[in-house]
Amino acid sequence: MSFRVILIIIAMFSALTESLAVQRRYLAPMEDSLWEMTVSNGVQCEMEHVIPYFGKAIFSQEAGRKLRLKLVTQQRFKPGIEVEFFSESPIWKTTSTAFSIGNLKIGDGEILIDVPTVAAEYAFLELHDGYQAGFIFR
């Protein structure tokens, strides 16, 4: 085998493994979807959802404040990695579409991502309408 052929094979394998490692997708299937109210009082409301193989998503709102959405995980990711937050139609809907809610960056600390208010509100409405929210690490 010539040196060029070996280089081409190595380049193909590295491109294949790189493309497999570039994207991680996290999404809870509809049948596993379970939002649980964890705090409910006159001042604050909080509900959370377990995301398989990742951690959990937590919606929270204090009286007079805006809606918050945080993604919490035990996994360690490098700060600054770009994450695409998206919504897609469940399979039972006639049209299957996916669209981006926003692009986020991983923070440093216990809370992996603190989703901006507008994206959190949009995600909440999408979930309320039966869509599935998820995120892709690029």
Per-residue confidence (pLDDT) for residue 21, from 0 to 100: 44
More reliable by pLDDT, 52 or 11: 52
Q: Can you tell me the mean pLDDT for 102-124?
A: 83
Per-residue confidence (pLDDT) for residue 15, from 0 to 100: 45
Does the pTM of the predicted model rise above 0.75? no
Give per-residue pLDDT as tens, 57-99.
899 999 999 999 988 887 777 888 888 888 888 777 766 677 7
Per-residue confidence (pLDDT) for residue 71, from 0 to 100: 86
Please give the share of the chain, as a percent, with pLDDT higher than 70: 72
- Tell the CATH topology of 23-137: Immunoglobulin-like (2.60.40)
Question: Where do the structural domains in the chain lie, given as residue ranges?
Answer: 23-137
* CA–CA distances in Å: residue 62 to residues 19, 38, 53: 42, 13, 29
Among 13-27, 34-48, 55-69, 115-129, name the one with the lowest average pLDDT.
Answer: 13-27
